[in-house]
């Protein structure tokens, strides 16, 4: 099983995530951008996801809701760069913290039939980054990456 690496150096407004998958960049990219597939893996397993909008094209928008027993959590953003199988640049915003918008750059590196995904997230401040970490984001990320691995294996 591949491990998810999350790096958040103290005093910096960045989070880096790296995960390898036993699938081609084309398949991993499709799972990341297809509105039918995204709800099957994105978010903690104890939540359900409803996609309101998901247009993974330059200038396209996304909006979705995660629900669990405690309530609902709305997220949204804009896709700025989308290069099939290679790169996505998008904003990310949680409606519970509407003034904290981050910029995410995702790269899909071909490892010869396998893929390394690297996500570099830039926050507006160290405080915003720390709030994301304290929100339980690590659990959601690790759970999502494990669920994506399971989806890709099917």
The pLDDT score that the predictor gives to residue 1 is 67
- In whole angstroms, what is the distance from residue 75 CA to residue 49 CA? 11
- Give the separation between CA 113 and CA 108, rounded to whole angstroms: 12
Nearest to 97 by CA among 65, 131, 66: 131
Average pLDDT over residues 86-106: 96
Q: What is the dihedral of CA 35, 36, 40, 41, to 10 degrees?
A: -30
Whole-model pTM?
Answer: 0.95
Alpha carbon distance 3, 107 (integer Å): 17
The Cα–Cα gap between 27 and 143 comes to: 19
- Segment 125-150, tens digit of pLDDT: 999 999 999 998 999 999 999 999 99
- Please indicate whether residue 119 or residue 96 has the higher confidence score (pLDDT): 119
Q: If one looks up domain 5-46+84-93+101-153 in CATH, what number appears?
A: 3.30.530.20
- pLDDT (mean) for 83-100: 95
Domain regions of the chain by residue span: 5-46+84-93+101-153
> What's residue 71's pLDDT?
96
Please state whether 126 falls in left (phi above 0), alpha (psi between -120 and 50) or beta.
alpha
Mean pLDDT for the chain overall: 97
Angle at 86 between CA 50 and CA 62, to 5 degrees: 25
Q: Using one digit for the tens of pLDDT, what is the confidence trace for 36-91? A: 999 999 999 999 999 999 999 999 999 999 999 999 999 999 999 999 999 999 99
């Amino acid at each position: 099983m591949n491990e998810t690496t999350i790096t958040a150096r103290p005093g910096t407004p960045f989070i880096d995530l790296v995960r390898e998958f036993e699938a081609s960049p084309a398949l991993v990219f499709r799972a990341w951008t297809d509105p039918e597939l995204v709800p099957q893996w994105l978010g903690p397993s104890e939540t359900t996801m409803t996609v309101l909008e998901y247009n993974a094209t330059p200038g396209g928008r996304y909006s979705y809701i995660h629900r669990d027993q405690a309530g609902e959590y709305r997220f949204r953003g804009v896709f700025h760069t989308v290069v099939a199988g290679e790169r996505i640049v998008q904003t990310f915003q949680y409606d519970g913290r509407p003034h904290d918008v981050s910029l995410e750059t995702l790269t899909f590196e071909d490892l010869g039939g396998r893929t390394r995904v690297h996500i570099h997230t830039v926050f507006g401040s160290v405080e915003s980054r720390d709030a994301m970490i304290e929100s339980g984001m690590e659990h959601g990320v690790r759970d999502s990456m494990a669920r994506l691995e399971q989806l890709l294996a099917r």
